[in-house]
A and B are shown apart, each in its own frame.
Chain A
């Protein structure tokens, strides 16, 4: 259509456009696809400081060790348990942003809505290092909570340096950080709902709770499910920031997730080959999970992510 005046040069434009975007594709290739050569380390017994070609080729034995060697297997199962545990505990809280948005939209004062939104979104923008620093300030040995407890003679509580309730603590911290941010999408969805439905319901005498329960929530459920499915599809990719910041010798048993394990194994203890093998399996499982989630989400809402 656009090139109707230049029918002859249409083909040229086709390739010229590609040429323009090629540098960007090259950057993506260099930083996202080129690192794949590093996977070859998983098939060698790599010793730091040597070239990979000077190391012994061991085939699949690193992968077999991850499952076969008693210590490595125990660690792998432990970090998988933690990854699953923290995620599934997170799902328990997953309806919270929706409820938060629904309730806040029922409040009449727009100004109050705005203030709550602004303040609750702020924690989303701070790093996990800051989160840790704030947590130490509030829950640390000389922190706010403990000094207050001591004052009333109730002893002290130790939240950060303990192996108890680690998953719950981490999930609650995630909730504090992300609640307001996750609610934004529901605010936008609620703003787009058809007002006539509400008016009709009010004529029929529906009260506040029945309007929420029978009109608002059912229309938000598809959004909720799509977000849930996508988060399931993405759940191996936890990142390390939070767990690196909050991890310590006391809670490592329950806080070490797969990503942190890969990091500790490779950078911490120099087991490059095992670390790459574990990371490689993670990447492959993650892409399968993602494809599955994408497929389900396509069924739910009719369009895929691509």
Chain B
């Protein structure tokens, strides 16, 4: 006891070396903080500053000539509001369905009595590391009639094996008595799954839901590969297209009608902000959950 007290006293006192270390550490991490946060901050102040000043690079630390026209106008561009709707819809529906199917599958894979469970489980897990490839997937989805429909966003990504493993591992760490007692009370598999297991798995479901939602929201390649109908474009894809136009004309694009009165930079930055803001708003709340998810995921590869 006496010894323990001694280190505690020692720990609280800052020695000269400690002090130097903290100065160094705060400097390094302060720098890292700025490097990570400043681009987002810069993006935000540019979208609300005078567009001409932004183009001339006069905005650095503080916004100037504050206005919200960019946001108002971007929202009025017909195809963009539609894309926003598509992005939100696929994120909500895709994440919701994926959570249901993934956790359902995870629950039944925890049941050791299942016929040839190991075999089926491996068959599923292998698909994380092995795929037929992009073109075969394209041909397959075409055969299934999914290409160029809204469902191409939802159905192929219904089951995420990685997320399934996370949920399964989490369910397995639950005390078995809980299910056992419900079983003795006559509850079947489905009742136990819905009433006992799911309510206790909220943290991991939040994590998996975040992964899935971010994946849906951020995806632009599915649109690029499978979708030609502009009514089905997602917001990310619109941004990608816009960037491609800029690239093609080496940043000299002329503004077209729907974007009139907006500078190309203004549109691009505002669209970028519109895509980033929802993520920035949601993820800090789920942060406390996903640490656990990452741990389980790393253990399982």
Point out residues on A near B: beta carbons under 8 Å: 2-3, 10, 13-15, 17-18, 20-21, 24-25, 27-28, 30-39, 41, 100, 103-104, 106-108, 112, 115-123, 125-127, 129-130, 132-134, 136-138, 140-144, 146-148, 150-151, 161, 176, 179-181, 184-185, 187-188, 199, 202-203, 207-208, 223, 226-227, 230, 233-234, 237, 240-241, 244-245, 248, 259, 262-263, 266-267, 272, 275-276, 279-280, 282-283, 286-287, 290, 294, 297, 305-306
Contact = CB atoms under 8 A, between A and B. Distances in A.
Chain B interface size range: 35 or more
User: Nearest 8 A-B pairs (CB), nearest first?
Assistant: A147-B57, A38-B136, A279-B133, A127-B218, A305-B301, A35-B132, A35-B140, A32-B127
Given A18-B116, A21-B114, A41-B135, A137 B158 contact: no
Contacts of A129: 218, 220, 236, 239-240, 243, 275
Contact of A272 (B124, B135, B225, B290): B135
Contact of A120 (B36, B56, B246, B279): B36
Interface of B: 3-4, 7, 10, 17-18, 21-22, 25-26, 28-29, 32-33, 35-37, 39-40, 42-43, 46, 55-58, 60, 101, 104-105, 108-109, 111, 113-117, 120, 122-127, 129-140, 144, 155-156, 158-159, 161, 180, 183, 189, 214, 217-221, 224-225, 236, 239-240, 243, 246-247, 250-251, 265, 268-269, 271-272, 275-276, 279-280, 283-284, 287, 290-291, 294-295, 298, 300-301
16 contacts: A28-B159, A31-B156, A35-B140, A38-B138, A121-B283, A125-B214, A125-B283, A126-B218, A127-B220, A129-B220, A136-B246, A137-B46, A137-B272, A176-B35, A188-B291, A279-B134
Contacts, number: 275
A130 B276 contact: yes
Nearest to A249: B247
B133 A282 contact: yes
A118 B134 contact: no
A268 to B, nearest CB: 11
Given A41-B139, A203-B3, A276-B133, A118 B287 contact: yes
Contacts of B140: 30-31, 34-35, 37-38
Contact of A138 (B26, B42, B224, B251): B42
Nearest to B189: A20
Helix, strand, loop or mixed for chain B's interface? helix
Greatest chain B CB density within 10 A among A18, A31, A297 is at A31
B39 to A, nearest CB: 5
B154 to A, nearest CB: 12
Contact of B134 (A31, A121, A207, A262): A262
Given A125-B283, A130-B272, A267-B225, A208 B18 contact: yes
Contacts of B219: 127
Contacts of B35: 176
A193 B251 CA distance: 52
Contacts of A28: 123-124, 127, 159, 161
A305 B247 CA distance: 42
A226 to B, nearest CB: 8
A1 to B, nearest CB: 9
Helix, strand, loop or mixed for chain A's interface? helix
A185 B295 contact: yes
A32 B131 contact: yes
B43 A262 contact: no
A90 to B, nearest CB: 18
A306 to B, nearest CB: 6
A119 B294 contact: no
Given A35-B140, A147-B56, A287-B129, A14 B265 contact: no
